[in-house]
Structure 1
Amino acid sequence: MAIKSKRYKTKKKNKIANLFIKQGRLRWFNTLGFATLLFMLALFVSQIYTTKSTDKLTQKNEMTQVQSRTAWLKKIAPYAQRLQKKYGVLASITLAQAAHESNWNDSQLSSKYYNFYGIKASSGQAAIKLPTSEYIDGKWITVNARFRVYTSWQASMLDHTLLLVNGTTENPNRYYRVLHARNYKIAAKALYQAGYATDPTYATKLIKIIEQYHLDRYDY
């Protein structure tokens, strides 16, 4: 039995060897095919490893981003609560608008000029002219606008609250429904309906931010 087994292994080795060399000649087609197969296998394994590494890096970056955003919200939340207590604007709305309008305090208008809410400047007010996107006639367009420049982020938040409280010159009660909303969902929808923003998904975006970061816990 041992002799037969040895012969079988020898024949098997010869059979495999014949796939690549026969009668002293290299069988290019088989050799190239095998090399290609090995290359594809190595590439596949490499892609799996790269994908896993990328996923881990993305997850780590997302965690860092969430931590950074949460820290920023915690910093400005106490002042948002003070404004709610005095004027009645939900703190969650004040915070969500600040996050959305300023791109999490990453926009030039916010980080350099303390304007969290994209509030436009009136005549005689300190201002900076910057491009902004507006949703007009069913499409987004870029326009240049004069935005208010503040000396502190607290001044920006106070001005935003007073805008909602006092309304506009043509309509002092423009944000009445926002001020008297029972919860953040009603307030967010009322903001869009009152024309605070032209983006048709504005309310949905605010609600998503509030719920993702549990900002309603700051509401009285």
Structure 2
Amino acid sequence: MAIMKWNKQSKRRVRQIKQKVIGFLFACTVIFMAGYSINESYSSSNGAHSEALTLEKEQAFIQLILPVSQTMYEIYGIRPSVSIAQAILESDWGESELAAKYNNLYGRKTSDINNAILMETSEFTDGEWVIISDYFKVYSDVTESIEDHAKLMVEGTDWNPELYHPVIEAQTYQEASQALQQSGYATDPDYPQKLVEIIERYELYKYDVPR
């Protein structure tokens, strides 16, 4: 009888322990899933926050150079959409070393080494990308860089003053982007496509109207 009583009590105790263990495991599972959900939400929220900050920085850069680009359009006929897209592409949103330290938004080179910085750059030559060193212009501010870019489109180079006139005379931003490539502004064969993609993604074409 004593043994049977012990067995009954033991079984009852075991059942109680099992129930507590199951309850504990269930609680742990709930807590874990809640924590996982919170972490996922945090990661998602953090990613969205980071994306929002990036978009905010991009829009800030566009708004920074927009007024000068619009003025250059009124004076020289350089489309703001193309001018801004070039600045974005060439300077990596103003964060390249050339832009951040020397206010050169367009990768303008120069033979005047007294007002230049020697830097490495990538050039597409004979079907492949190569690294070269060259002298690049140094500007006091980004406004000076934008104005110099506009004057280049109008005045051209020493060997061809009308070199970039097709860019100004283009009827659309697509034609202007293509004209830059054909005029030899950049060696990248995908340069026109990259400009058009930037213009359309950020709707820069809406600035190609007189103020």
TM-score range, shorter chain: 0.7 to 0.9
Q: Which residue of 56, 72, 89 corresponds with 1:83? A: 72
Q: Is the 8 A contact 2:177 2:195 kept in 1?
A: yes
Q: Is the 8 A contact 1:92 1:184 kept in 2?
A: yes
Q: Which residue of 201, 206, 211 corresponds with 1:217? A: 206
SS of alignment partner, residue 164 of structure 1: helix
Q: Which residue of 129, 144, 149 corresponds with 1:140? A: 129
CA distance in 1, matches of 2:42, 2:127: 41
Extract unaligned runs of 5+ from structure 1: 1-41
CA distance in 2, matches of 1:166, 1:213: 29
Give the 5 Å matches for 1:123-202. Answer: 123=112, 125-202=114-191
Change (3 A) 1:49 1:205: farther
Give the residue type in structure 1 aligned to 2:86.
Q
Identity %: 38
Give the 5 Å matches for 1:1-220. Answer: 54-123=43-112, 125-220=114-209
Change (3 A) 1:125 1:187: farther
CA distance in 2, matches of 1:192, 1:58: 36
Give the residue type in structure 1 aligned to 2:189.
P
Q: Is the 8 A contact 1:125 1:148 kept in 2?
A: no
SS of alignment partner, residue 140 of structure 2: coil
Higher helix share: 2
Report the Cα offset of residue 56 of structure 1: 4.0
CA distance in 2, matches of 1:100, 1:111: 14
Deviations 1:107-159 (A, max 9, x none): 11101111000000123550001111111111111111100001111110011
TM-score by length of 2: 0.78
CA distance in 2, matches of 1:137, 1:53: 49
Q: Is the 8 A contact 2:167 2:175 kept in 1?
A: yes
What number of residue pairs does the alignment pair up? 184
SS of alignment partner, residue 107 of structure 2: coil
Q: Is the 8 A contact 2:113 2:135 kept in 1?
A: no
Q: CA RMSD in A?
A: 2.5
TM-score by length of 1: 0.75
Q: Is the 8 A contact 2:174 2:196 kept in 1?
A: yes
Extract unaligned runs of 5+ from structure 2: 1-31
